[in-house]
Amino acid sequence: MTGTTFGSLQVRNYRLFSIGQLVKLLGTWMLFTAQDWLVLQLSNNSASALGVVTALQFMPVLLLTLYGGQLADRFDKRRLLLLANAASAVVATLLGALVVSGLANLWWVFVTAALFGVISAIETPVRQSFVSELVGRELLPNALSLSSATFNTARIVGPALAGVIIAVLHDRTGPIFLLTAILCTAPLLCLSRMRTAELFRVEGTTVSASEARTIDGLKYVWQRPDLSLAILLVLIVGLFGFNFQLTLAVLARVEFRVDAKYFGLLTTAIAIGALAGALASSRRRNRPSVYRILAAAILFAGFETLVGFAPNFVTAVILLVPTGFFMIYFAQAANQRVQLGTDAAFRGRVMALYVLVFLGTTPIGSLIIGWCAERYGPRSGLWLGGLISLLAALAVAIVQLRRVRGHIHVGLRPRLHVRVHETAGVPAVRPAVR
């Protein structure tokens, strides 16, 4: 079972979790697409306004995610997820009612985006660490990959469906927000039907408030170079390279001047590649090496840079497929390396830090990239993010090679291959901070 692509789905609790997440995320991506289109409508196609709403949506992640990690290590993760998904349904209903009634303006979109950000800041680290309670350790790499596949399946269907609905309704976005509110109730049903006795919970891993200190989690990561290098690379690539919610909307509406359904095609193209990348890593049984992470980051950065220079809409769509593949392959390998190398008692706080650098940097990155897109053209957000990500991956590779006194060997026989030879042992991992 461990070697199959969909092995984790044979576990009832994980199967329920995946179904609830797929339905909810389908609505979430529809909402994000409709929200971006609504912002462009209300702001006269302002890239800066889109950057602000993206920043407000992710700023709470920057401020509250570490606290969410503390909650994940202190309380029942399933109950926390029930509360978070209920709150998402309420906010989506509020936004939908405002738009349908004609009362929505740019400020209301800013407020609801911030509320979604607060919910996500708490829910994401809890959800990430909850996966380890749904399956045994041998299935954890597969479960993480399938969770990523679920996420990207929603990214494929959601934006495309939202684009069609917006076009059919003549640029009306209100019904999409109300539909999202309904879809957000799916995880509530699925989580409530789980068999808690079948969860893989390690005795003694839930700690008290005095023990679940954020500073201890940070010290734990600092003492683990195998974790800190991966998280550092995710920090920089996430800051500059993962701003597609902003860059693709601007590219579609300002550069290529296409309507909502074609904007959905851009996001669908990158999501198709991302789904393929998630499935490609789903058969992995072991913890990925740092070199696999680096190779994926370099390839992602290269393709993102090429998208920035795509001469036409069709070329951009084609290039976004491998961009999405290596984007999620990199992110998934980094996620697996961090999760599979972390003690259970620290997993909530470590994954909170991972989510913080992966998503929490988006407010800063979106403001920078939005400013660049408005000043230097809509393409600049893509090629600039790609080049910075490439430089970051090369810099981390140099640090890693110096750390282990390694060197790279490229061979042509019997086929083209690249190997890394380490001539110095890696220092032993220090014990966990208590």
Whether the per-residue pLDDT at 412 is higher than 60: the answer is: no
Which pLDDT value is given to residue 431? 41
The DSSP code sequence of 304-368 is: HHHHHT-SSHHHHHHHHHHHHHHHHHHHHHHHHHHHHTS-GGGHHHHHHHHHHHHHTTHHHHHHH
DSSP letter string over 172-197?
--HHHHHHHHHHTTHHHHHHHTS-GG
Residue 318, pLDDT score: 93
The length of the chain is: 434
**133 has a pLDDT exceeding 80:** yes
Domains, in order of start, for the chain: 7-198+212-422 (1.20.1250.20)
pLDDT of residue 326: 92
pLDDT at 2 over 50: no
pLDDT for 117? 87
Residue 300 pLDDT grade (very low, low, confident, very high; cuts 50, 70, 90) = very high
